[in-house]
């Protein structure tokens, strides 16, 4: 059922709007359930280019993923709703991740690396990166005031949508929205 729903949605968007499957009105029409909280911006918003790191100290910026749609999830090990989302985000990365789309999860604030690694192992999280924002520079730059927060960046590196709070990223609606963006 899930596969046919979002496949139908992409076909509908493609037929109705040609190459512009990412039309905001049509994307809004795909929002259902938890995805009703996903708000598409009327105009893209510049994303922060603050530095965050990998566990080995390698520096990253959101601009490193420019050229593809990026679902950025701000989370913490102590945040129960954040923890509930992670397996769903891992499944999205496994299904959609590639040249056109990436899920980037950023542990913001004090999150001990052993706790992150233990959690990823317990939940069999294998496709998501371990990225750290211990001083919350990126989170502050992105206006993150609570957790979880998920933003969607365009291939140009601009924020085009935001969802505050926990969401079912395994839903037909979430998959349809992402498939439509990627197809656009």
pLDDT at 18: 35
| Adjacency order of strands within the sheet including 59-60 | 39-46, 158-164, 149-153, 69-75, 101-108, 131-133, 52-53, 59-60
- Which neighbouring-strand residues pair with 71? 103, 152
**Residues in a beta bridge with 164:** 149
Place 24 in a pLDDT band, splitting at 50, 70 and 90. Answer: confident
The whole model's pTM is what?
Answer: 0.88
Sketch the domain layout of the chain as residue ranges: 1-36+169-184, 39-166
Q: How far apart are the first and last CA of the chain?
A: 23
Count the neighbouring beta carbons within 10 Å of the beta carbon of residue 168.
14
Task: Phi first, then psi: give them for residue 58, nearest 5 degrees.
Answer: -60, 135
| Element holding 10 (H helix, E strand) | helix 2-17
pLDDT tens per residue across span 27-48: 999 999 999 999 999 999 999 9
Return the minimum-mean-pLDDT range out of 20-34, 45-59, 117-131.
20-34
Using DSSP, how many helices (H) and how many strands (E) does the chain show? 6, 8
Whether the predicted pLDDT of 118 surpasses 60: yes
Coil/strand/helix, residue 64: helix
pLDDT in the model for residue 23: 79
Q: What is the largest CA-CA distance in the chain?
A: 49
Fold of 39-166: Glutaredoxin (3.40.30)
Tell me the C-alpha distance between 20 and 14, whole Å. Answer: 7
């Amino acid at each position: 059922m899930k596969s046919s729903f979002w496949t139908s949605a992409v076909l509908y968007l493609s037929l109705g709007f040609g190459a512009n499957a990412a039309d905001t009105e049509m994307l809004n029409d795909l929002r259902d359930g938890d995805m009703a909280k996903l708000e598409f911006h009327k105009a893209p918003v510049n994303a922060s280019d603050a530095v965050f790191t990998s566990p080995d100290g390698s520096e990253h910026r959101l601009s490193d993923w420019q050229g593809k749609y990026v679902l950025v999830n701000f989370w913490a090990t102590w945040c129960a709703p954040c923890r509930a989302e992670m397996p769903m985000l891992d499944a999205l990365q496994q299904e959609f991740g590639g040249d056109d789309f990436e899920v980037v999860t950023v542990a913001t604030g004090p999150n001990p690396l052993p706790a992150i690694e233990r959690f990823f192992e317990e939940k069999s999280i294998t496709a998501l990166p371990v990225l750290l924002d211990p001083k919350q520079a990126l989170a502050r730059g992105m206006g993150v005031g609570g957790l979880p927060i998920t933003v969607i960046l365009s291939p140009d590196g601009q924020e085009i949508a935001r969802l505050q709070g926990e969401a079912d990223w395994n839903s037909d609606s979430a998959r349809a929205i992402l498939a439509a963006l990627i197809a656009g």
